[in-house]
């Protein structure tokens, strides 16, 4: 079996007449709602409740041909080839992230949490944040394995992207789609992940492998329903629930996608009468419990240390306060339009996948028509997934750029399906090449756009970037581990200078900015305590001085006049960064 154009000049897998295409069968007319789209898998109309026959042999062959399973057993190396390509592509296309010390300031906060955790200081207690502790946990693992460098964190991001791409590949294969389609979707995700601040090892990059793996399990369960007429297994429900549970320890916004995963697991089987209502409810309860289990385990661990209050405050109450103050609607619309324009090429390919289909038989069984029908069902799933991902993007009410990375897995799948449709008319023998070239061009264009600023302005190439310069200046006189205070510059400066922390509120906005109320503490009192400790160095970004609360600015200015002299300056993006040394 090899990828090439069929005798009609369309992209497909050349097969003998007796070997049907391993794709989901058509499910009748397009269902406009998520429930309808998922319930329609393998069923053109809602069946009568009660026992139903297993899928026909034709349907079973379409979703699980014996020859496909035998080829996997005969060539186990094929299972390793896809992840190897994804890892290589991620390492190469994300290479621009290896140079700068700062891509997104949130990443610097996670790095500090991870460093302190390796020293015994847990998140929320040693370093405060309003995100779950999953991202610092993964980064701590990377620092322990690869060494305590920025490069170690960026390598973690590359591996997470490769894992997400492989999960997308697995999702396509679970639906019976061809390997080339899975590879295209995965590689497009790798290329697109460098945009929208995605070069940073941020939460959206880190939870994506778990979410996409859970979605692949849902698709696999739907395929099993059509192939065998069988409901989802407890193993599938447990694995998917645990995957979403791990994603929830990284960021809570995965809740909508977690709900979609269970709808895909159990919804079609319940709709067709294969899964009794009682068992469906039991599976729902088990799934919800497994989703909550990792977070509950972390809560128990904090309670055992006597820090459960810090866990609840940072991981539950602060995010609720944050979401209670959304940005203005006009700003949200502007950001959505700008982000969509950034992803214009993937969206254009996705539109090709969603365009109305004509001339397709209602129940194709073999060959190119069966592949087209299977692609239609996979397109419906991806479209619903993209809609649910949009809910996840909007859930915090802030519309920050990297939130839109949640779009990328379903968008990459839709774009790959669209590219597959566009090359159907390519002459014989060139369909696979055209498909690969089209998606490769889109991915490389995204990667080039992310690398361009560094090449144009030389950030980190001709000379060290500003945080590294500031850290190097401080390190000339600072004993390792001694605290400094970074007022309103990048938190990663502490890490680069091997400096200690004067407070657990090291992210500027949490102490001297306008969102100090999120911390649940008295920001002015904590700032007064930090300044009274007289750290050896104080770092402030004069270009962002106006962003400080007036009370905080007055307190810092008074401390500088009383006890500090200007030690050096470093030019940065917004103006001069000043390093003040204690007299």
DSSP string, 39-108: HTTT-SSPPPSS--PPPPHHHHHHHS-HHHHHHHHH-TTHHHHHHHHHHHHHHHHTGGGGS-S-S-HHHH
pLDDT of the residue at 453: 67
Segment 442-460 mean pLDDT? 70
Please state which of the ranges 248-257, 401-410, 444-453 shows the lowest mean pLDDT.
444-453
* Angle at alpha carbon of residue 162, lines to 157 and 163, rounded to 5°: 95
pLDDT of the residue at 73: 44
Query: Which stretch of DSSP H or E encloses residue 280?
Result: helix 277-304
The Cα 19–Cα 192 span in angstroms is 35
Highest mean pLDDT among 171-185, 246-260, 344-358, 561-575: 246-260
pTM of the model: 0.84
pLDDT of the residue at 337: 92
The Cα 500–Cα 309 span in angstroms is 24
pLDDT of the residue at 445: 81
pLDDT of the residue at 390: 95
Highest mean pLDDT among 37-41, 108-112, 478-482: 108-112
pLDDT of the residue at 407: 96
The Cα 120–Cα 122 span in angstroms is 6
Segment 155-168 mean pLDDT? 96
Per DSSP, the three-state class of 535 is: coil
32-38: long-range contacts at Cβ-Cβ below 8 A with a sequence spacing of 24 or more? 34/260, 34/263, 34/384, 34/387, 34/388, 35/263, 35/267, 37/380, 37/381, 37/383, 37/384, 38/222, 38/263, 38/264, 38/267, 38/268, 38/381, 38/384
pLDDT of the residue at 510: 86
Phi, psi of 557 (to 5 degrees): -60, -40
Q: What is the pLDDT of residues 25-71, one digit of tens each?
A: 433 333 334 444 554 554 444 444 444 444 443 333 333 443 444 44
pLDDT of the residue at 135: 96
Q: What is the pLDDT of residues 212-265, one digit of tens each?
A: 999 999 999 988 888 888 999 999 999 999 999 999 999 999 999 999 999 999
Distance of CA 64 to the CA centre of its chain: 30
pLDDT of the residue at 78: 55
Query: What is the bridge-based pairing of β-strands 485-486 and 11-14?
Result: unpaired
- Rounded to the nearest 10°, the torsion over CA 357, 363, 365, 371 is 20
> Does residue 365 register a pLDDT over 60?
no
Q: What is the mean pLDDT of the chain?
A: 82
The Cα 93–Cα 304 span in angstroms is 43
pLDDT of the residue at 226: 84
pLDDT of the residue at 382: 94
Taking alpha carbons only, the member of 187, 197, 205 closest to residue 97 is: 197
pLDDT of the residue at 324: 78
> Does residue 366 register a pLDDT over 70?
no
Q: Are 164 and 208 in contact (CB under 8 A)?
A: yes
> Does residue 83 register a pLDDT over 60?
yes
pLDDT of the residue at 112: 97
In this prediction, what percent of the chain has a pLDDT beyond 90? Answer: 55
Taking alpha carbons only, the member of 84, 221, 94, 242 closest to residue 163 is: 84
The Cα 548–Cα 551 span in angstroms is 8
Per DSSP, the three-state class of 404 is: helix
Q: What is the DSSP string of 89-151?
A: HHHHHTGGGGS-S-S-HHHHHHHHHHHHHHTT--BTTTB--SS-SHHHHHHHHHHHHH-SSHH
Q: Are 535 and 500 in contact (CB under 8 A)?
A: no
Beta strands in 479-554 (DSSP E): 485-486, 537-541
In the chain, count of helices (H) and strands (E)? 24, 6
Q: Are 537 and 478 in contact (CB under 8 A)?
A: yes
Segment 314-330 mean pLDDT? 84
322 or 345: which carries more pLDDT confidence? 345
Please state which of the ranges 1-10, 70-79, 243-252, 565-574 shows the lowest mean pLDDT.
1-10
Burial 456-477 (b: 16+ CB within 10 A, else e): eeebbeeebbbbbbbbebbeee
> Does residue 477 register a pLDDT over 50?
yes
pLDDT of the residue at 492: 95
């Amino acid at each position: 079996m090899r990828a090439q154009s069929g005798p009609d000049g369309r992209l497909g897998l050349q097969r003998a007449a007796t070997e049907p295409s391993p794709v989901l069968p058509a499910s009748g007319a397009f269902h406009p709602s998520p429930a309808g789209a998922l319930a329609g898998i393998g069923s053109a109309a809602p069946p009568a409740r009660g026992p139903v026959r297993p899928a026909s042999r034709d349907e079973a062959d379409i979703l699980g041909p014996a020859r496909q399973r035998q080829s996997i057993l005969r060539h186990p190396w094929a299972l390793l080839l896809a992840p190897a390509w994804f890892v290589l592509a991620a390492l190469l296309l994300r290479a621009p992230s290896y140079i700068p010390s700062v891509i997104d300031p949130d990443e610097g906060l996670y790095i500090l949490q991870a460093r302190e955790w390796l020293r015994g200081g847990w998140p929320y207690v040693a370093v405060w944040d309003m995100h779950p502790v999953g991202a610092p946990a993964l980064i701590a693992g990377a620092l322990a394995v690869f060494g305590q460098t920025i490069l170690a964190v960026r390598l973690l991001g590359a591996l997470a992207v490769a894992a997400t791409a492989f999960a997308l590949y697995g999702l396509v294969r679970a639906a019976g789609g061809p390997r080339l389609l899975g590879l295209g979707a995965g590689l497009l995700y790798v290329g697109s992940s460098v945009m929208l601040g995605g070069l940073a090892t941020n939460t959206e990059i880190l939870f994506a492998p778990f979410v996409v793996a859970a979605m692949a399990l849902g698709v696999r369960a739907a395929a099993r329903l059509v192939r065998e007429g069988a409901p989802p297994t407890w193993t599938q429900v447990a694995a998917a629930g645990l995957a979403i549970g791990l994603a929830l320890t990284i960021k809570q916004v995965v809740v909508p996608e977690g709900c979609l995963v269970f709808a895909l697991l159990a919804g079609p089987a319940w709709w067709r009468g294969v899964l009794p209502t009682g068992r469906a409810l039991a599976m729902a309860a088990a799934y919800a419990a497994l989703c909550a289990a990792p977070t509950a385990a972390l809560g128990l661990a904090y309670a055992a240390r006597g820090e459960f209050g810090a866990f609840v405050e940072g991981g539950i109450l602060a995010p609720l306060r944050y979401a209670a103050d959304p940005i203005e609607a006009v700003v949200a619309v502007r950001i959505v339009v700008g982000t969509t324009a950034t992803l214009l090429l993937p969206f254009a390919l996705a539109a090709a996948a969603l365009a109305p289909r004509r001339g397709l038989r209602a129940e194709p069984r073999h060959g190119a028509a069966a592949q087209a029908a299977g692609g239609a069902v996979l397109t419906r799933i991806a479209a619903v997934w993209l809609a649910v991902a949009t809910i996840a993007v909007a859930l915090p009410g802030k519309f920050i750029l990297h939130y839109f990375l949640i779009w990328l897995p379903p968008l990459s799948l839709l774009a790959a399906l669209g590219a597959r449709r566009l090359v159907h008319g390519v002459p014989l023998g060139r369909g696979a090449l055209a498909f690969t070239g089209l998606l490769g061009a889109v991915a490389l264009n995204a990667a080039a756009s992310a690398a361009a600023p560094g090449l144009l302005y030389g950030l980190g190439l001709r000379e060290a970037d500003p945080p590294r310069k500031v850290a190097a200046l401080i390190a000339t006189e600072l004993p390792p581990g001694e605290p400094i205070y970074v007022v309103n510059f990048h938190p990663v400066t502490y890490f680069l200078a091997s400096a200690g922390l004067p407070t657990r509120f090291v992210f500027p906005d949490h102490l001297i900015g306008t969102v100090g109320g999120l911390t649940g503490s008295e920001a002015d009192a904590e700032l007064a305590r930090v300044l009274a400790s007289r750290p050896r160095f104080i770092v402030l970004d004069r270009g962002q001085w106006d962003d400080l609360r007036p009370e905080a600015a007055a307190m810092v200015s008074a401390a500088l006049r009383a006890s500090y002299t200007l030690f050096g300056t470093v030019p940065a993006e917004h103006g001069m960064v000043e390093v003040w040394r204690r007299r």
